[in-house]
């Protein structure tokens, strides 16, 4: 018998009436909805970091202008690695379209719905149009080109990458470099082959064919180790793709993407944020597939980087955080499968680092086998047990949102429980009882801050791990012999160190300098093991967050710090502060590029992706067996809607916020778990069998995008500066030799200057109409440069 209860403040259970779930009016026109979020490039980007990107979870391409007569498709493949030292990612190269004339201008549009890029290029000889996509299943880039008569001689060429692990070669001068690339003709195709000193090879080939409208290029990359078979594999892929029915290839590619997006829906009264959110799921769809490698900091793309493999102190964990609530578990499966497949290596790491046989861990970074390596990416000073325990929290979220019991109980096929148990074993071996009778952790690394005993990062993860192991034993009756020990740890573990500024880094280290990681507050987000409804905890957390964001002039707070701060505020139900942090993230042009990619000297793909989780946390939270609907909506948001978000316990939840209140909520159980849900100040306890659903309504349930003004559509992508094409006027106070040049648009803002060899004291541009200018930033200054308002 199904039952619905309202839990009142006095904790009395009162039966209330609900109605059977009517069909939700799904009014989302997906092609037109996503079209308003396409990345629109009003001018061609001139650098990798600003380009239009494609990917299928393994093969990737970044598209940008490369000089006066080149359009470049820089190719990456996520499993092309060095196979020595750190087994780091390696560059492959780029396909370039060499135009006949000099490029004058161009545009591109990244079509999210169809996962393809369309572009137009104008030269002083004519025009070119292209369409490109990387097939979702086939390891191939397919590129169609049409040209005007003046550009008929435009040609394609392959430019190989250097094929070296530059980071380790700088440190280990004695290491022989990889041999130079070679070319070989196989079945009529020119194949670029890059051998590796460690063995194996990767190979690239492409074929150009004529179509009824122009030309088509099919390009592929293959990798083999230790065998030298990539050359045959890549030729076979290209030949098979060329002979396939193109219309069917295009249809199957689009079919995958058209099934991906509608698994959930969200629309909020913030067009720039809404677009940013949907672009991140295009990015995730481009970077992750269940049967492919876990997503590192580059995803399927590549350029030279400081971070050429997997980082475990937040990067891989935060990347996957948005997939769970979005009902996109398929996009998180690559990480789960990776942990399952490499379990023996995590035990090996603990043996090599700590000397223990019954423990599992990771170093600071690993290769794609989960191993440490012996290169520049594996310094000892950053190692701590918490990184691996945190990674297992992602596995836990995958389990809790799917409620696939096999993930816990089938311990031959799935490694979650054995690995969590072994990661906590490492802590158990390191704990010591102090004179105060409490259990204490020795000096360990707190990510990106320093060393501290009883640091809050590791204390929080140890607590979460013990709580979770106890929870799983109670549910599945494992009767683990370590159960009493975990309970003892929870009863006697030292409290989190705090001071007048809030949570400390550790017992002997205050939070005294600005830094970007919220490692000392992990118990709030994403672990959610501190009760944020407790007034004392709320005071502590507000103090801690404020101190973190403001100490030392905030100079160590980065864009992704703001995403974490938004989720921390959302955990406190503070939507106003959460949205402020989200806006600061998106506006931080030091790191966030117009295409929403995030660059800290090198690409870090996860640092913008995680902002999608911040928005989700404002709309739905489901930790600790309570689903919270619209828990942190900003006061300025009168309307918001989401559909088929996935809550812990495997519940599909849909709801609309209108005129400041929740208008309706729909809940469907996918696993028959107990359900407690809170909205409009009340908590309801629902008894739902698997497949059953309930509907709470103050009106009809309609799911449709919130309206936006046409000017607010497509806010992301490289835009022309308002001064583009205007003439600049420069002073000649240093003599008559000063000649102004035309203003032009660079990577992210307008450059102004004088012709080479001349001198100018100032430059000015007439925009034609009055325009408010909020500020000016100089990207490059010389010793004589002075800036004035």
Supply the DSSP string of 112-150, one letter for each residue.
Answer: TTTTEEEEEEEESS-EEEEEEEE-SSSS-EEEEEEE-GG
pLDDT in tens, 682-709: 999 999 999 999 999 988 899 999 999 9
Does the pLDDT value for residue 789 go beyond 50? no
Tell me, yes or no, whether 759 lies in a domain.
yes
Do the strands 141-147 and 502-503 form a parallel or antiparallel pair, or are they unpaired?
unpaired
Place of tokens 């088929």: 644
Taking the mean position of all CA atoms in its chain, how far away is CA 711?
Answer: 27
Supply the DSSP string of 564-598, one letter for each residue.
Answer: HHHHHHHHTT-HHHHHHHHHHHHH-TTTB-TTS-B
Tell me the mean pLDDT in the region 724-733.
52
Question: Which residue has better confidence, 69 or 741?
Answer: 69
In this structure, what CATH number is given to the domain that contains residue 185?
2.70.98.50
Where is the domain boundary, 242, 262, 282?
A: 262
Rounded to an integer, what distance in angstroms lies between the CA atom of residue 174 and that of residue 360?
Answer: 33
Which residue, 630, 637, 653, 629, is CA-closest to 264?
Answer: 653
Rounded to an integer, what distance in angstroms lies between the CA atom of residue 641 and that of residue 619?
Answer: 9
Tell me, yes or no, whether 151 lies in a domain.
yes
Rounded to an integer, what distance in angstroms lies between the CA atom of residue 147 and that of residue 99?
Answer: 10
Tell me the mean pLDDT in the region 261-284.
99
Q: Residue 544 is inside which H or E element, if any?
A: helix 535-550
Q: For the chain, give the mean pLDDT.
A: 92
Do the strands 651-658 and 661-669 form a parallel or antiparallel pair, or are they unpaired?
antiparallel
What is the pLDDT at residue 79?
98
How would you class 288 by CB atoms within 10 Å of its CB: exposed for 0-12, middle for 13-18, buried for 19 or more? Answer: buried
Does the pLDDT value for residue 145 go beyond 60? yes
Tell me the mean pLDDT in the region 69-90.
98
Q: Do the Cβ atoms of 337 and 290 come closer than 8 Å? A: yes
Of 355-364, 735-744, 751-760, which one has max mean pLDDT? 355-364
Q: Do the Cβ atoms of 363 and 378 come closer than 8 Å? A: yes
What is the pLDDT at residue 265?
99
The alpha-helical segments, DSSP class H, found in 374-455 are 386-402, 406-409, 416-430
Enumerate long-range contacts of 65-69, CB under 8 Å, 24 or more apart: 65/103, 65/106, 66/94, 66/96, 68/102, 68/103, 69/98, 69/99, 69/100, 69/101, 69/102, 69/103, 69/123
**What backbone torsions phi and psi does residue 435 show, to the nearest 5 degrees?**
-65, -20
Question: Which residue has better confidence, 89 or 2?
Answer: 89
What is the pLDDT at residue 634?
98
Tell me the mean pLDDT in the region 441-447.
97
Tell me, yes or no, whether 604 lies in a domain.
no
Does the pLDDT value for residue 776 go beyond 80? no
Q: Do the Cβ atoms of 69 and 3 come closer than 8 Å? A: no
Does the pLDDT value for residue 19 go beyond 60? no
Which residue, 182, 52, 189, 180, is CA-closest to 118?
Answer: 52
Rounded to an integer, what distance in angstroms lies between the CA atom of residue 200 and that of residue 223?
Answer: 8
Rounded to an integer, what distance in angstroms lies between the CA atom of residue 519 and that of residue 460?
Answer: 9
Place of tokens 């295409």: 595
What is the pLDDT at residue 739?
45
Where is the domain boundary, 219, 242, 262?
A: 262
Tell me the mean pLDDT in the region 368-393.
93
Q: Using pLDDT thresholds of 50, 70 and 90, give the confidence band for residue 769.
A: low
Does the pLDDT value for residue 734 go beyond 60? no
Does the pLDDT value for residue 783 go beyond 60? no
Which residue, 44, 61, 374, is CA-closest to 206?
Answer: 61
Does the pLDDT value for residue 56 go beyond 50? yes
Structure tokens at 236: 């076979």
Q: Do the Cβ atoms of 300 and 78 come closer than 8 Å? A: yes
What is the pLDDT at residue 699?
80
Question: Which residue has better confidence, 660 or 109?
Answer: 109
Tell me, yes or no, whether 491 lies in a domain.
no
Tell me, yes or no, whether 507 lies in a domain.
no
What is the pLDDT at residue 406?
99
Tell me, yes or no, whether 72 lies in a domain.
yes
Rounded to an integer, what distance in angstroms lies between the CA atom of residue 433 and that of residue 749?
Answer: 58
Which residue, 279, 273, 314, 319, is CA-closest to 618?
Answer: 273
Question: Which residue has better confidence, 774 or 758?
Answer: 774
| Domain assignment of residue 740, given as a range | 721-789
pLDDT in tens, 666-678: 999 999 999 999 9
Structure tokens at 353: 């680092």
Rounded to an integer, what distance in angstroms lies between the CA atom of residue 289 and that of residue 94?
Answer: 24
Domains in the chain: how many in total?
Answer: 2
What is the pLDDT at residue 767?
63
pTM of the predicted model as reported, rounded to 2 decimal places: 0.92
Rounded to an integer, what distance in angstroms lies between the CA atom of residue 490 and that of residue 439?
Answer: 9
pLDDT in tens, 160-176: 999 999 999 889 999 99
What is the pLDDT at residue 381?
83
Place of tokens 């061609």: 44
Where is the domain boundary, 228, 262, 296?
A: 262
How much of the chain is helix, strand and coil, in % rounded to 5?
30, 25, 45
206 forms beta bridges with 219
Question: Which residue has better confidence, 736 or 282?
Answer: 282
Tell me, yes or no, whether 314 lies in a domain.
no
pLDDT in tens, 193-221: 999 999 999 999 999 999 999 999 999 99
């Amino acid at each position: 018998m199904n039952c619905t209860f309202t839990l009142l403040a006095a904790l009395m259970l009162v039966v209330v009436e609900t109605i059977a779930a009517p069909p939700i009016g799904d009014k989302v026109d997906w092609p037109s909805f996503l079209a308003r979020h396409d990345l629109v490039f009003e001018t061609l980007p001139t650098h990798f970091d600003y380009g239009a990107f494609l990917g299928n979870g393994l093969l990737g391409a970044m598209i940008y202008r490369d000089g006066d007569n080149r359009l470049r498709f820089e190719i990456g493949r996520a499993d092309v690695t060095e196979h020595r030292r750190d087994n780091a990612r390696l560059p492959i190269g780029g396909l370039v379209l060499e135009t006949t004339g000099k490029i004058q201008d161009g545009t591109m549009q990244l079509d999210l719905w169809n996962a393809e890029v369309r572009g137009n290029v104008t030269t002083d000889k004519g025009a070119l149009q292209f369409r490109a996509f990387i097939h979702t299943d086939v390891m191939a880039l397919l590129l169609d080109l049409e040209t005007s008569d003046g550009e008929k001689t435009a040609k394609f060429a392959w430019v190989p990458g250097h094929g070296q692990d530059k980071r380790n070669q700088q440190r280990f001068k004695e290491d022989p470099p990889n041999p130079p690339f070679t070319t070989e003709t196989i079945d009529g195709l020119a194949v670029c082959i890059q051998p590796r000193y460690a063995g194996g090879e990767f190979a690239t080939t492409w074929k150009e064919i004529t179509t009824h409208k122009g030309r088509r290029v099919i390009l592929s990359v293959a990798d083999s180790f230790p065998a030298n078979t990539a050359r045959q594999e890549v030729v076979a892929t290209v030949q098979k793709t060329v002979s396939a029915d193109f219309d069917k290839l295009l249809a199957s590619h689009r079919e995958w993407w058209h099934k991906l997006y509608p698994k959930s829906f969200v629309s909020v009264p913030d067009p720039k944020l809404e677009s940013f959110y949907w672009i991140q799921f295009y990015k995730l769809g481009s970077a992750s597939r269940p049967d492919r490698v876990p997503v590192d900091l580059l995803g399927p793309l590549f350029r030279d980087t400081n971070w050429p493999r997997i980082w475990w102190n937040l990067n891989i964990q935060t990347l996957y955080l948005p997939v769970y609530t979005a009902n996109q578990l398929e996009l998180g499966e690559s990480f789960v499968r990776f942990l399952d497949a490499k379990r023996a290596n995590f035990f090996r790491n603990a043996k090599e680092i700590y000397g223990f046989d019954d423990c599992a861990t990771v170093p600071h970074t690993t290769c794609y086998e989960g191993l440490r390596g012996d290169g520049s990416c594996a310094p000892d000073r950053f190692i701590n047990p918490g990184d691996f325990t945190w990674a297992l929290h992602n596995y836990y979220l995958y389990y809790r949102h799917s409620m696939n019991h096999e993930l816990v109980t089938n311990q031959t096929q799935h490694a979650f429980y054995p690995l969590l148990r072994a990661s906590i074993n490492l802590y158990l071996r390191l704990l010591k009882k102090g004179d105060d009778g409490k259990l204490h952790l020795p000096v360990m690394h707190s990510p990106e801050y320093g060393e501290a005993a009883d640091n809050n990062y590791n204390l929080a993860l140890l607590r979460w791990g013990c709580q979770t192991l106890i929870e799983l034993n109670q549910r599945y009756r494992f009767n683990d012999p370590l159960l009493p020990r975990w309970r003892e740890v929870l009863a006697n573990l030292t409290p989190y160190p705090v001071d007048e500024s809030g949570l400390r880094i550790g017992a002997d280290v205050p939070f005294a300098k600005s830094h970007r990681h919220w490692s000392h507050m992990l118990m709030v987000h994403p672990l959610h093991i501190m009760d944020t409804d407790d007034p004392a905890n709320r005071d502590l957390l507000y103090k801690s967050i404020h101190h973190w964001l403001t100490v030392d002039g905030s100079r160590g707070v980065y864009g992704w710090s703001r995403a974490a701060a938004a989720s921390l505020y959302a955990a406190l139900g503070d939507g106003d502060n959460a949205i402020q942090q989200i806006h600061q993230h998106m506006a931080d042009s030091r790191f966030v590029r117009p295409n929403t990619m995030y660059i800290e000297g090198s690409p870090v793909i996860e640092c913008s992706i995680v902002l999608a989780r911040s928005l989700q946390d404002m709309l739905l939270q489901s930790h600790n067996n309570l689903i919270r609907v619209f828990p942190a909506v900003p006061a300025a948001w009168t309307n918001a809607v989401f559909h088929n978000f996935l809550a812990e316990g495997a519940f599909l939840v849909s709801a609309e916020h209108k005129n400041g209140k929740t208008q309706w909520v729909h809940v469907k159980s996918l696993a028959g778990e107990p359900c407690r849900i809170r909205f409009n100040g009340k908590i309801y306890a629902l008894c739902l069998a698997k497949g059953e659903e309930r509907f709470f309504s103050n009106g009809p349930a309609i799911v449709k995008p919130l309206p936006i003004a046409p000017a607010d559509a497509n806010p992301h992508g490289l835009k022309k500066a308002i001064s583009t094409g205007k003439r600049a006027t420069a002073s000649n106070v240093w003599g008559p030799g000063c000649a102004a040049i035309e203003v032009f648009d660079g990577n992210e803002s307008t450059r102004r200057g004088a012709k080479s060899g001349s001198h100018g004291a100032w430059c000015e541009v007439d925009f034609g109409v009055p325009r408010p200018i909020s500020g000016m930033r100089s990207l490059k200054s010389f010793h004589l440069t002075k800036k004035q308002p």
